Amino acid sequence: MQQFEAILESKQILTPTVLLVRFQNLNKIDFIPGQFITIPIGKQNRFYSLATTPLFHKYFELIATVENNGVGANFLLNQLKIGEKVTFYKPQGKFNLQNNSKAKIFLATGVGISAIRSMIQTLVQTDFQKQFLLFFGIKTKKDVFLENEWQNIQDQNSNFSYFYCLSREKNKHYNFGYVSGNLKEYLTTHRLNPQDFEYYVCGNLNNVQNIVEFLQNDLGISNAQVFFEKFI
């Protein structure tokens, strides 16, 4: 499998459990928004969704959870130093942003936002003209990250709206509950037809399964309109 190299440019702690890292490209990397790279760490491989649009040629970013101090978390947070090279395998994966003009709804939980972020950035950079919405599920206010980025996009693009959905804490600045319930309420309140959208779902295994079942069983969305990526 083809290998690439990149140089670690920066690290940013987004929350106590989430890290954003930026790498400077040493090779031209072609990928579709939603795909992931494989980083070999010792004798193990770790998989990370690319968190930036492929239209940013000079760099790419990854968003990783670091709460469990696992192999990948320890490597990115502690072992790999600024200015050092990392080797990774070419991007792959079938969770891809569809190249069409259909309105889109993105449903992410936790660091599942990585692939979704790549997709949203691409829509912004290509001046997407249809409605696109983000429902971002997290536990509490301390888990909020990337809010300034979504707000900037919303301020500059009337087609985009975002909603943080806090599942374990009520806060007047954010929605309460799971993304599925908040999505249903939004569609009902704004009298939108669920069939008019494509749905992109990314997060941990249980959350993605529950959201996909909700889309199919409660909203009657066909498999052809639902794209998802789940991880353990």
* 98 is a domain residue: no
The model's pLDDT over 26-46, given as tens digits with 9 standing for 90+, comes to 988 999 999 999 999 989 999
32 and 127 assigned to the same domain = no
* 97 is a domain residue: no
Q: What is the mean pLDDT of residues 96-125?
A: 97
Give the number of domains in the chain: 2
85 within 8 A of 6, measured Cβ to Cβ = yes
Whether the pLDDT of residue 232 is over 60: the answer is no
181 and 223 assigned to the same domain = yes
93 within 8 A of 36, measured Cβ to Cβ = yes
* 160 is a domain residue: yes
Helices (H), the chain: 71-74, 113-125, 147-156, 179-189, 205-217
The model's pLDDT over 121-144, given as tens digits with 9 standing for 90+, comes to 999 999 999 999 999 999 999 999
pLDDT of the residue at 18? 96
Whether the pLDDT of residue 68 is over 90: the answer is no
Q: What is the mean pLDDT of residues 175-180?
A: 96
Q: Please tell me the pTM assigned to this model.
A: 0.96
32 and 139 assigned to the same domain = no
CATH of the domain at 123: 3.40.50.80
pLDDT of the residue at 205? 92
CATH of the domain at 40: 2.40.30.10
Give 142-159 as a DSSP string: GG--SHHHHHHHHHH-TT
Where is the domain boundary, 48, 68, 92? 92
pLDDT of the residue at 70? 86
Instruction: Write out the residue range of the structural domain in which residue 155 sits.
Output: 103-231
Grouping H, G, I as helix, E, B as strand and the rest as coil, residue 59 is strand
31 and 88 assigned to the same domain = yes
